[in-house]
Amino acid sequence: MGLGGAEVAIVGLLILGMVIWALIDVIKSEFTRPNNKFVWILVIVFMPILGSFLYLIIGRGQRATRY
């Protein structure tokens, strides 16, 4: 009882959406340390699923606060 084509496509689109969202968020954000943006982009590009998940959980806390 495996996954059908539609289920695989939906999961793939959700993963792609998460990766794109993470990349856009990294690019638009300012970080407390200058190298963090570059490192997060590399992590997301070379490990898309794990990298985007880690960024959304951990990396968003590294952004500079805006007042």
Range of the structural domain that residue 37 is part of: 5-62
Query: 25 lies in a domain?
Result: yes
Domain count across the chain: 1
Scanning the structure block, which residue is given the tokens 């490990």? 47
Residue 38, pLDDT > 60, answer yes
Counting every residue, how long is the chain? 67
Q: Can you give the pTM of this predicted structure? A: 0.80
Identify whether 57 is part of a domain.
yes
Q: Is the pLDDT of residue 32 over 80?
A: yes
Within-domain flag for 11: yes
Q: pLDDT at position 42, please?
A: 96
**Any domain includes 32:** yes
Q: Is residue 67 part of a domain?
A: no
Q: What is the full DSSP assignment across the chain?
A: ----HHHHHHHHHHHHHHHHHHHHHHHH--BSSTHHHHHHHHHHHHSHHHHHHHHHHTGGGGBPP--
Instruction: Name the pLDDT band for 40 (thresholds 50, 70, 90).
Output: very high
Interatomic CA distance for residues 14 and 16, integer angstroms:
5
Computed over its alpha carbons, how large is the radius of gyration of the chain? Answer: 14
> Is 27 inside any structural domain?
yes
**pLDDT band for position 29 (cuts 50, 70, 90):** confident
